[in-house]
């Protein structure tokens, strides 16, 4: 059973998921990174360019999903170094620090709240330009238009996106477009209209893009 709530960390989400069976789950690209807790381990989920299949991941998982582009400043690691990866937090931070934080989560009545506190203590002031970029691309504006709004050249924008999101602005725009389309389709909007409203050329374009990013046809995702 999956549950989530808004975090006190701006734009973030605190979530918990209990899986009692060993079936495969599917985490879709969303531009985000997560700090995870599972069976005494602290892990980091890097940004995805394709669906991450969680084969046989039983038990209770707890996580803090950062707002897109904000996790690298907390973790101290550029996002592109974690692209399509799940790593131990101990691979990124000193072992002594991670042991102390792990003990803190173990003692906590609510592991999710403990993760949230850890992130709040380490989060620097947000970069408003990154949030503006996510909002612009998430609203369907082109990469060129978003770059103009931020006053950034193409090369500088690409460097900043790789550090913050793990990939360039075109991939970020593609991921956010898919998430926008899924939200519309799940709300009952017909697929042809969903494609146009989300910024695709047509419904076949939507279907191809979703299959490439999610590893399943659109109807399969909606059915699941």
What pTM was estimated for this model as a whole?
Answer: 0.92
Q: What angle do CA 74, 143, 206 make, to 5 degrees?
A: 100
Both tokens assigned to 79: 């996002």
Question: Do 104 and 132 share a domain, yes or no?
Answer: no
The per-residue pLDDT for range 67-122, each reduced to its tens digit, is 999 999 999 999 999 999 999 999 999 999 999 999 999 999 999 999 999 999 99
Element containing residue 200 per DSSP (H, E): none
What burial class does residue 92 get, using C-beta atoms within 10 Å of its C-beta: 0-12 exposed, 13-18 middle, 19+ buried?
middle
Q: How far apart are CA 212 and CA 192, in angstroms?
A: 19
What burial class does residue 196 get, using C-beta atoms within 10 Å of its C-beta: 0-12 exposed, 13-18 middle, 19+ buried?
middle
Question: Do 33 and 64 share a domain, yes or no?
Answer: yes
Out of 63, 94, 122, a domain closes at: 122
Q: How far apart are CA 173 and CA 140, in angstroms?
A: 8
Domain limits for position 26 = 2-122
Number of domains the chain contains: 2
Out of 75, 104, 122, a domain closes at: 122
Alpha helices in the chain (DSSP H): 71-75, 95-107, 111-122, 128-138, 143-150, 154-165, 169-186, 191-198, 203-214, 218-223
Both tokens assigned to 209: 């893009």
CATH of the domain at 175: 1.10.10.60
Question: Do 149 and 176 share a domain, yes or no?
Answer: yes
Alpha helices in 20-127 (DSSP H): 71-75, 95-107, 111-122
Out of 91, 122, 153, a domain closes at: 122
pLDDT of 56: 65
The per-residue pLDDT for range 9-39, each reduced to its tens digit, is 999 999 999 877 656 688 999 999 999 999 9
Q: What is the dihedral of CA 72, 76, 77, 82, to 10 degrees?
A: -60
Question: Do 81 and 132 share a domain, yes or no?
Answer: no
Question: Do 94 and 134 share a domain, yes or no?
Answer: no
Question: Do 113 and 95 share a domain, yes or no?
Answer: yes
Model confidence at 135, pLDDT cuts 50, 70, 90, reads very high
The per-residue pLDDT for range 41-73, each reduced to its tens digit, is 999 999 999 999 887 667 889 999 999 999 999
Nearest to 136, CA basis, from 122, 159, 152: 152
Q: Answer whether 46's CB lies under 8 Å from 79's CB.
A: yes
CATH of the domain at 40: 2.60.120
pLDDT of 22: 59
Both tokens assigned to 190: 């017909």
Question: Do 189 and 215 share a domain, yes or no?
Answer: yes
Q: How far apart are CA 91 and CA 161, in angstroms?
A: 23
């Amino acid at each position: 059973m999956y549950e989530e709530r808004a975090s006190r960390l701006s734009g973030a989400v605190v979530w918990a998921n209990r899986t009692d069976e060993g079936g495969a789950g599917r985490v879709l690209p969303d531009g985000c990174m997560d700090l995870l807790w599972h069976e005494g381990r602290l892990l980091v989920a890097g940004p995805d360019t394709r669906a991450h299949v969680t084969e046989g991941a039983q038990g209770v998982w707890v996580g803090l999903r950062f707002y897109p582009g904000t996790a690298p400043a907390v973790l101290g690691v550029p996002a592109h170094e974690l692209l399509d990866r799940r790593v131990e937090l101990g691979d990124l931070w000193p072992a002594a620090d991670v042991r102390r934080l792990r003990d803190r989560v173990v003692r906590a009545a609510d592991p999710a709240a403990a993760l949230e506190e850890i992130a709040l203590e380490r989060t620097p002031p947000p970069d408003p330009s990154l949030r503006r970029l996510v909002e612009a691309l998430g609203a369907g504006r082109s990469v060129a238009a978003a770059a103009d709004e931020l006053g950034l050249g193409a090369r500088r924008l690409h460097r900043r996106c790789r550090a913050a999101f793990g990939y360039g602005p075109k991939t970020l725009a593609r991921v956010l477009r898919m998430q926008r389309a899924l939200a519309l389709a799940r709300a009952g909007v017909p697929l042809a209209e969903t494609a146009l409203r989300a910024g695709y050329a047509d419904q076949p374009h939507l279907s191809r893009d979703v299959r490439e990013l999610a590893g399943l046809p659109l109807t399969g995702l909606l059915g699941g």
